[in-house]
Each structure stands twice: as structure tokens, then as C-alpha cells.
Copies of this chain bind each other. A is one copy, B any other.
């Protein structure tokens, strides 16, 4: 029973995963049904069995990303008991994505910026990706004894976003790694002063 996927789930999953990649690499508004259909080898008309509108595809993609983030954060929490180690793991993750980040920017940031321009309804959903990291960061910082953990979490998010933006603007992965080094040192300093 559970091992057998429902009919339609396979092609639906193909659409979501392909759209997820193309939305990241080209942007949401610059990705057409034809683009997704061609990349996923699925006829265009098939889309409307699974999704009513293009916005619905984006909603599914954001849900997909949210689930991925949630699982990743849960993994880190399971893997590391120490909040400091968890935060280092976060930086390590950014570092590992360096190539894509320098090329396409941040999947959360670039999507929010695009949608924030003139598509508030869609942006409201995309913002939830940020909420996940914000709340997770705040929890770690609170565990480390920081008073304004929520404020510091937003600060760290901003630092990370800025690094990625400049790295993308100049296509410079080396800059990204250097800034992450500073980020890590800054983090260690912040943490040790509270221990």
C-alpha cells in the first residue's frame, strides 16, 4: 500500500522538482510552462490535471522547499546536541552550496525579492522559508544564552543574505568563502563571550 505511489503522484513530483530547479535558476516569472514541460518531458496540458494555475505550482514548490528546510534543520538538531555546533553546521551548509549561490543567488532570498516587487500574495508564502531559519537560529542563540536571540537571528540572516548577494553580483565564490570565515569567527566570539 504505502510502497505504491498514488497514480499521478509521480508526474506531479516530477513537475514540482523540475519547477523547483528552474524557478531557482531562471526566476519564477521567467520560467514558462513550456520550460518546465520540456525539462520534465511532460506535455503541457498535463500540468492542469495537477495544478489549476502557475501560482499553484509555485505554492507546491515553496511547500517542497519548506519541507526540505524543515527536514534539514531537524537533521542538524538530531546530529548535534550543542547549539554552537549546529550554527557551524549552518555555515557549512552555506559554504557547500557556494557554487550555486554565486551563480543563482539564494533560493529563499532571490525568490522573495522577485515576488516582493509586485506579487504580495505569493511573497507571503515564500517568506515562510525565512521564518524557518529565523526561528531555528533564534532557538540556537537562546540556548547559548543570548538575550535578544530573535533580533540576533535576523541579524545573522541579513549577514548571510548580503554575502550571497555580493557573491552573485560578482560571481565570486572566493569572496563568499572569505566572508563565511569571518562569519564563523564572529559567531565563535559571540558565543564564547557568553559561556
Residues on A lying within 8 angstroms of B by beta carbon are 25-27, 29-30, 103-105, 109-110, 112-114, 116-118, 127, 130, 151, 154-155, 157-163, 165-166, 168-171, 175, 178-179, 182
Instruction: Tell me whether A157 and B161 are in contact in the complex, defined as CB-CB below 8 angstroms, given that A27-B114, A29-B29, A113-B105 are known contacts.
Output: no
* Bound CA span A26–B116, Å: 9
Contact B157–A166 (Cβ < 8 Å): yes
In the complex, which residues of chain B have a beta carbon less than 8 angstroms from the beta carbon of A151?
178
Partner of A162, one of B29, B165, B168, B178: B165
* Bound CA span A188–B127, Å: 33
Closest B-chain residue to A26, C-beta based?
B118
Instruction: Tell me whether A155 and B127 are in contact in the complex, defined as CB-CB below 8 angstroms, given that A165-B162, A169-B109 are known contacts.
Output: no
In the complex, which residues of chain B have a beta carbon less than 8 angstroms from the beta carbon of A160?
162
